[in-house]
Amino acid sequence: MRRSIVISRADPISIGVAEILIESFDFKPNYQIYRRGEVEIHFIEMKHIYAEEIGEKLGVDLVVFPSSHKSEKGIQAFLTHPVGNWKDEALYGGRPRKLSMTSALMLTNSLQTLMSEVDRLGMKGWDVRLEVTHHGPYTSVPSIFIEVGGSDTSTITRRELEVVATASLRAAETEIHNTDKIALGFGGGHYAPTFTKLVVEGLYNIGHICPKYALPIDEEMVKQAIEKVVEKPKLALIDWKGIPSQHRTELISIIEKHGLELVKV
């Protein structure tokens, strides 16, 4: 199995993560890439979000994108999320109304590693969260983003880069397999506090997450969300207070039609 950590030369955070992976995690040069076992580091010139079909082009089996993050509110955070666009637009890469393949287990590994590293290092003032499914690139290969950042004035040191590098490697090393407690998430805000808590506590492994602001969605998008999680979700977690009542009934009807077990959270 070929596992790729894709580094964008257009993103200084991504380049910094690559340097740490190569220096500290025993990646060895191999032609134009670096390799450690099944995990490869590939470099691209463009920003990650515009690297359409990158998994297919590299011929790999899963992809991790270490990346910078900008928060309009200036919140300093480590984040991980699936990829795709719920609506009829693709302002930041990807394709309109298309979700990329993702892995709930990769997301769990990345989130739990970010959390444990932040705790281990005693990093005060840093939040750790899932984000909902958003932006590009589109790929049919299981992929996730792992990000760090805050405001335009936030200083990212080597320590923050080491956290992202560790989480990126752990995510890339994920052994993907069908297992219990694979779920989709619906409702709530962009930084998914309810779903973050459930994954950190080990209660569920969550793939695609559709936030309140993207609702309503139709049956085609629910069907995509099911099909685009490689571990085959059996559960739909509903952030009950995080979904407007006018959208809830239709969403539940679609979810039940596709045989998912409904769980109120």
Interval 216-251: pLDDT, tens: 999 999 999 999 999 999 999 999 988 988 889 999
Mean residue pLDDT across the chain: 95
182-264, what's its fold?
Answer: Rossmann fold (3.40.50)
Mean pLDDT across 94-107: 98
Check for a shared fold between 3-172 and 182-264. Answer: no
Sign of CA dihedral 77, 150, 86, 64: negative
> Which band of pLDDT confidence, cut at 50, 70 and 90, is reported for residue 70?
confident
Q: For the chain, what percent of residues have pLDDT higher than 70?
A: 98
Concatenating the DSSP letter of every residue in the chain gives: --EEEEEETT-HHHHHHHHHHHHHS--EEETTEEEETTEEEEEESS-GGG-TTHHHHHT-SEEEEEEEEE-TT---EEEEE--B--SS--TTSS-TT-BPPB-HHHHHHHHHHHHHHHHHTT-TT-EEEE--S-S----SS-EEEEEEEESTTPPP-HHHHHHHHHHHHHHHT------S-EEEEESS-TT-HHHHHHHHTTS-EEEEEE-GGG----HHHHHHHHHTBTT---EEEE-GGGS-HHHHHHHHHHHHHTTPEEEE-
Mean pLDDT across 119-131: 93
pLDDT of residue 245: 86
Domain residue spans of the chain: 3-172, 182-264
Tokens 């997450």 correspond to: 209
In terms of CATH architecture, what is 3-172? 3-Layer(aba) Sandwich (3.40)
Q: Which residue has the higher pLDDT, 71 or 106?
A: 106
Tell me how far the alpha carbon of residue 220 is from its chain's centroid: 21
pLDDT of residue 153: 58
Using the predicted structure, report yes or no on whether residue 83 has a pLDDT greater than 90.
Answer: yes
Using the predicted structure, report yes or no on whether residue 147 has a pLDDT greater than 90.
Answer: yes
pLDDT of residue 154: 67
Using the predicted structure, report yes or no on whether residue 125 has a pLDDT greater than 70.
Answer: yes
Using the predicted structure, report yes or no on whether residue 215 has a pLDDT greater than 70.
Answer: yes
Distance between CA atoms of residues 257 and 255, nearest Å? 5
